[in-house]
Each structure stands twice: as C-alpha cells, then as structure tokens.
C-alpha cells in the first residue's frame, strides 16, 4: 500500500516522503517542519488538494508546426 512516511532529518526537522506500493519514493517534502503536527498537517493538505489538482504540460510550443 502507498504511504506517507514522517521522519526527522539531520537537523531535527520533521519531513515526509511518499512511497508507492513498490517502495519507490515518489515525492518528498520541500521543507522541514519544527514540529510533527505541522508536518502531519501538510500531508492532510496534500491529500485534500491533489484530488482536484490540474495536470499541465510545460513543454514549449514548436516553432515549426
């Protein structure tokens, strides 16, 4: 089962990583959190917002169609 894992980094901040079913890391927190509650809250926000997230393609348009 895919999961979020919370851990402490070398400086003692809390971070999360998201692992797929096969154990590969798909995403990591971009920032560290001073306390675990804030780290957990960021996971809740991600879970809530991703179901509505748009998919965009930032590939530049070709000059020659």
Question: Per-residue confidence of the chain (65 residues) as pLDDT tens digits?
Answer: 999 999 999 999 999 999 999 999 999 999 999 999 999 999 999 999 998 999 998 887 776 65
E runs forming strands in the chain: 3-8, 14-19, 25-28
CB 29 within 8 A of CB 42: yes
Where are the chain's structural domains? Answer: 3-50
Tokens found for residue 5: 């894992």
In which residue are the tokens 């809390």 written? 14
**pLDDT of res. 59:** 82
Q: Report the CATH architecture of 3-50.
A: 2-Layer Sandwich (3.30)
Pairing between β-strand 3-8 and β-strand 25-28 as defined by DSSP bridges = unpaired
**pLDDT of res. 58:** 86
């Amino acid at each position: 089962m895919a999961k979020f894992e919370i851990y402490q980094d070398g400086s003692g901040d809390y971070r999360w990583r998201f692992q797929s079913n096969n154990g590969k890391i798909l995403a990591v927190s971009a920032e560290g959190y001073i306390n675990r509650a804030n780290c957990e809250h960021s996971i809740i926000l991600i879970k809530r917002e991703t179901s509505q997230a748009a998919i965009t393609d930032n590939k530049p348009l070709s000059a020659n169609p």
